[in-house]
Structure 1
Amino acid sequence: MKFVFINTGTISQNAGIVRCLGLGTALVQLGHDVSIMINDDAQNVQAYGEVLNGIRFIYTKSGSGREQISKTLHLAKLSELDYVHCMGAGSSIFLPALIAKKLLGKKFKLVVDFEDRQSLLVPPVLEKRILYYEKLAVKYADKVICASNELALLYKELYGIRAGYLPFAIDARRQIGRNVATADRFTIGYLGNLIQPYREQVDFLLATLPDMNDLQLIIAGKGEMLPVFQQEVKRMGLEDKVQFAGFVPDEKLNQLFGELDACVFYLPDIPVNRYRCPNKAFMYASTGLPVVASKVGEVVRVLQDYPNAAFFDNDNPADFINAVAKAKTQHAEVPDAFYEKNSWVARAKVYVDFITGKQA
């Protein structure tokens, strides 16, 4: 079958490209024809080129209005498309596909993929518009899939649809080595976008550090909250315990993981976290390192079979400290079966069965 994935932005702005690449690469391995349509930002062109992992890249113009028109025209020129897979319901992603299908008469099936609920991540002034696009996408999509099981259940309740459940996955087991320069201390790492909606995640970690004298924290990521966190670390006198690594590209992640003894993330138990599937849970699990995580949403489902998971009760600093202590003792070898079950190839098989109607 012939697929086109549509996304926007760059990998540092929109993690949806991770999903496009993972699922798209697996579909190529299963014998399908796959392209990704994305805007012509220099970062995208440099990172992906014309072909990557057997996936062809179609670059469209950037900018409000220009991107939508460019994508619509590209879709109009493509022939014999079986499926167009939209990474969300945004106007730069879903509208070009809808116009090509409904107004230009293209015969492809339309799949809309919600990796989270965008209306919970935007300022209140934009919420109504995002919800309108969400309703439009659910109404006209041939198939809807969600990365979170709770989001799939919510859409069934709100819209009366049966959304497919397709969490993120693991590309491959990472081969990392311990950096001897940091081997004398227990170092935990947090990776994520340092933006306002996720502020509580970092605030929680910083608040617990004074009670753990032997702990070092590396924070990797960028966003508008970075200078705020840097000032907070200085105010709390934690400069010797916290290191900011900035945005770390994939080709340098193994080096970063080599400096860690454990990976960590705290998720407040709020809708925005229950309705998404954090890709970093899979990224962390790909290392084999202990993962310290709060018991919220998809994280528990993802890591329930991971032998080096240490869960803690949400909003309980003392339990978090106990989970870190547990992580210090975890050195289990992660079985191949865990990685096979959570591979993109396994996900792609489920995906094909769902969109073609073979999945009951």
Structure 2
Amino acid sequence: MNILFIVFARKEVLGGAKRALKMAPYLSDYSNVTIAINESEENKNRLAGIKNINSVFVERTGLFEYRKQLGRVIERKNPDIIYTNHLNTRTLFLNNKSFRIVEHAELFSQSEDMSYLQRLKYLMYEWTSIFISDGMLIANKNLEYIYKKRSDIVSKNMCFKYLPYGSSAHINQNKKKDNINDKLHTVLYFGSLSRDCGFTNIIDSIITLNRNSDKKITLEFCGSGKVEEKLKSYVSNRQAKGVVRFNGFIEESLVSEYLNSADVLLCPLQYKNRDKFRFPSKLPMYMNTGKPVVTCKLREVVDCLGDKGFYYEPGDVRSLCEAIGDALEYGNVEYDESNVQRYSWENISREFYKWVKKCLESEVSVNVRN
């Protein structure tokens, strides 16, 4: 089987781009894998570490030239499966010989963070993806329901697969930090600062916890984005520079070191469409460390963490203080081993391969090839 991943990845690898890059080494045991990715030094370094795959770097040119480049790659590789993690005018290609899979990680047309025109643009892309694809890979059950309903409306026969994101091998157990009896603690957020996920409430909760206990708790933000400067100003105004640190973007090789140094890991969410229709890809990685995770009770989160999570109500600083405080007192968590394995990239790659193999044998694939 020949699989072509068309991947868009910038400095930070998010969503479907991460899935393609993490699954590729495992899928190479079963099939011939090619990754076509936008040309950059970061991406060249990423792919250099992946063995037994074919790499194609696509220049960021004008629309038509970019599409021509992709067309030449498709013609040369003649893939059985074409997967893309990002749908826009550069990837709205038609290929009658390949089974086309589009991944959807969020429902951008329903995001409260976007303007009406932006949402309208994404709504067009979302509906177009139904007509030009043969299969959909979806990381959120609510999102899967939406796309199945949409495909029924237009009577489109498609293959669907719910498949969450995963995590790499276990963090070294000997490096786990257990500071239940210590007075120095680190609460860490790892991820993008491109939008506000209740970060000011998190800062307020850390200030409150430091004020009301004899513990010294440090909050660390590992990530970058457009709200970073706003948060720094907020910290300065609250005179909390001593307890909040901004570490910026963290290279992938250093991620484990930062996670191991923390006592509690944060996955802030809100009861809004932007979070209801996505899967927080950091959760399996967090779970692999054996550290307590403070987050909110959304469907995908509870499926992943179950009763091992420390949950709070979004916008409620008191609830957040209690969740962080309970997590600090609890210490390291013994997550269910079968659940950890379920969210491993090895298992997810195996599930993906079984699904695409079934897709190629389906009536949908027969119609595509005819």
TM-score (ref. length: structure 2): 0.85
Question: Equivalent residue for 1:89?
Answer: 87
- The answer for the alignment partner of 2:147 in structure 1 is 155
Deviation at 1:57, TM superposition (A): 1.5
Paired with 2:265 and 2:143, the residues of 1 have a C-alpha distance of 26
How many percent of aligned residue pairs carry the same amino acid? 19
- Aligned twin of 1:267: 269
- Report deviation, 1:179: 10
Distance in 2 separating the partners of 1:179 and 1:354: 40
Query: Measured at CA, do residues 217 and 327 of structure 1 come closer, stay the same or move farther in structure 2, by a change above 3 Å?
Result: same
Query: Structure 1 residues 267 and 167, CA, compared in 2 at 3 Å: closer, same or farther?
Result: same
Q: Which has the higher contact order (CA 8 A, sep 6+)?
A: 2
Match of 2:204 in 1: 207
Larger mean CA deviation between 33-42 and 119-128 belongs to 119-128
Match of 1:312 in 2: 312
Cα distance, 1:64 vs. partner? 4.0
| SS in structure 1 of the partner of residue 189 of structure 2 | strand
CA spacing shift, 1:14–1:327, aligned 2, 3 Å: closer
Of 83, 99, 120, the residue aligned with 1:109 is 99
Other-structure match for 1:333: 334
Name the residue aligned to 1:299. 301
Q: Does 1:281 align with 2:270?
A: no
The residue number in structure 1 matching 2:324 is 324
Q: What amino acid is aligned across from residue 19 of structure 1 in structure 2?
A: R
**Unaligned regions of 5+ residues in structure 2, if any?**
153-157, 363-370
The structural deviation recorded for 1:59 is 0.5
Query: Does structure 1 conserve the Cα–Cα contact (< 8 Å) formed by 2:176 and 2:289?
Result: no
Task: Spell out the pairing of 1:207-286 with structure 2 (5 A cutoff).
Answer: 207-213=204-210, 214=215, 215-286=217-288
CA distance in 2, matches of 1:122, 1:72: 32
Q: Distance in 2 between matches of 1:26 and 1:140?
A: 27
For 2:60, the equivalent position in structure 1 comes to 62
Distance 1:311 1:292, change over 3 A: same
* Aligned match of 1:194: 193
Distance 1:349 1:177, change over 3 A: closer
Q: Any unmatched runs of 5+ in structure 1? A: none
- Which amino acid is 1:108 matched to? S
Structure 1 distance, partners of 2:9, 2:23, is 18
More deviation in 169-178 or 243-252?
Answer: 169-178
Give the aligned residue type for 2:3. Answer: F
Deviation at 1:339, TM superposition (A): 2.3
Quick one: distance in 1 between partners of 2:137 and 2:297? Answer: 23
CA 1:185–1:272 in 2, change beyond 3 Å: closer, same or farther?
same
Q: 1:201 to 1:36 in 2, by over 3 A?
A: farther
State the TM-score, normalized to the length of structure 1: 0.87
3-state SS, counterpart of residue 188 of structure 1:
strand
The within-5 A match list for 1:165-176 is 165-175=162-172, 176=175
